[in-house]
Copies of this chain bind each other. A is one copy, B any other.
Amino acid sequence: MNRQYLFDHYPNVVVTSECFKLHDEIISQIDEGEILVRNHYLSLDPYMRGRMSKAKNYAAGQELNTVMQGGTVGEVVESKHADFKVGDTVICTGGWQLYYRTAPTMDSNHVRKIDVSRIPMSVYLGAAGMPGITAWYGLNKIIKPQSGETLVVSAASGAVGSVVGQLAKQKGCRVIGIAGGPEKCEYVVETLGFDDCIDYKAYPDAETLSHELRQLAPNGVDAYYENVGGYIMDAVLDNLNAFARVAICGLIAGYDGRAIPISNPRAILVARASITGFIISDHMDIWPQALAELAEAVAKGVLIFRESVSVGLESAPDAFIGLLQGHNFGKQLVKLI
């Protein structure tokens, strides 16, 4: 028996549990060339909100009455495919469900075997997975930080931001995080080793946040890794140095359907800044290098990460709604087994 969440309703501005519908189905026999994966962990990510919409997006929207899409790690429990055997640990787009039946093809990497001898399975959904690789790409391929530069990263305690800051520190940058609440800020500085972290909740508008950032970065900001958008972005843009680079990875503040403007685009011109949006799935070619570096850093203990794990498939909707509201602390996972 498989249990899964279907996409049941488009959100009316805010995502609620009514958007999802629990569904049970009998797992039929797999065919030649197929495998059956028992999902152990489901990854919840902000991008999912973007797909729950009919608006133009970089990926196809989630169709109503289909299984909610999402990355999973799990174990092969049945196989009629030459490259996979029962007991293999794999990462795949297994969706919001307990079992994932699929026919892996050589020209796609939607099912990949992972090595769990040195790092836990769940890390392949976080620091050594899509979020970590997203951090790696935006930092190394867009921002290209130089030693001595000042880098700011928003959502600094999150799955992407925490990796961005640690990698930038290793490259000799001064790193300032932005996160929500004193607990997250303390973690960012004390545990992750960032130089500073601003609690944006203490600075409720662009002006006060910009002023605080100026105190911490009196020589300005050379690079900005954006995970959030909204007035946080306005405040950072206001402090950019000449020729600053901004990588836009996510704009979570706009995911609830409200467009959050950039209030002063003139800052882009004044700073002669470059702002580049990117989506990691466009850059699969860097995956092997990035994954190898990140997994090695995790195994060695020089890349620290944190997970926020909710237990049971049935907890997925609330965990996702909490993620959109910033309630998670670290990579949001759902433990399915």
Residues of A at under 8 Å CB distance from B?
Answer: 56-58, 229, 233, 242, 248, 250-251, 254, 259-266, 268-279, 282
Contact = CB atoms under 8 A, between A and B. Distances in A.
B282 A272 contact: yes
B58 A272 contact: yes
23 contacts: A57-B270, A58-B269, A58-B270, A58-B271, A229-B266, A233-B265, A248-B265, A248-B268, A248-B269, A251-B266, A251-B269, A254-B265, A259-B263, A259-B264, A261-B261, A261-B263, A262-B262, A270-B277, A272-B278, A274-B274, A274-B276, A274-B277, A275-B276
A271 B279 CA distance: 9
A268 B261 contact: no
A266 B282 CA distance: 17
Given A259-B266, A262-B265, A274-B276, 6 more contacts: A57-B270, A58-B242, A242-B282, A248-B265, A248-B269, A273-B277
A256 to B, nearest CB: 12
A27 B250 CA distance: 60
Nearest to A276: B274
B272 A273 contact: no
B265 A229 contact: yes
Contacts of A262: 261-262, 265
Contacts of A276: 272-275
A233 B265 CA distance: 10
A277 B268 contact: yes
Nearest to A278: B272
B251 A265 contact: yes
Contacts of A254: 265-266
